[in-house]
Amino acid sequence: MKHVYLAGPFFNETEVKNIERAESVLEGRGFDLFSPMRHEVRTEPGTVDWARDIFEMDRSEIDRADLVVALYYGNVSDSGTAWECGYAYAKGVPVVLVHVNGDADSNLMMHVGCATNISLGDLETFDFERLPRFEYEGEMF
């Protein structure tokens, strides 16, 4: 069973719903899923120790991952998600970039550096074993 790290922002209702949708699909497909939204640390929120604990927890889960699935909102995407993708790339962990806003501009560093580009709806049928490469064809900068 593949260990999947689910990257993506969860700062507003739409982002939370998209994370929940991705969680449901990935868990339904039998993946061992780590979703940062579902994991808390015991240190006081907003402190330096809290930030370090979250950073270390997430970094260690990416290190364990066989695959990162990242919800990507184009030019307005979350910097934490971008960091997670870059770190995974540097560690040799494939990143499946899920374009949530299909018509949003994309930063070339995100869509070129990932293993493949898909839509949120594609999660249900995508071949995570073979990881076929789909190029991003929208607007980019």
- Domains identified in the chain and CATH numbers: 3-124 (3.40.50.450)
Mean pLDDT of the chain: 95
For the segment 53-104, what is each residue's pLDDT rounded down to a tens digit? 999 999 999 999 999 999 999 987 899 999 999 999 999 999 999 999 877 7
Decide: 80 and 68 in contact? Cβ < 8 Å. Answer: no
Cα dist from 117 to 24, 37, 54, 61, whole Å: 20, 23, 27, 22
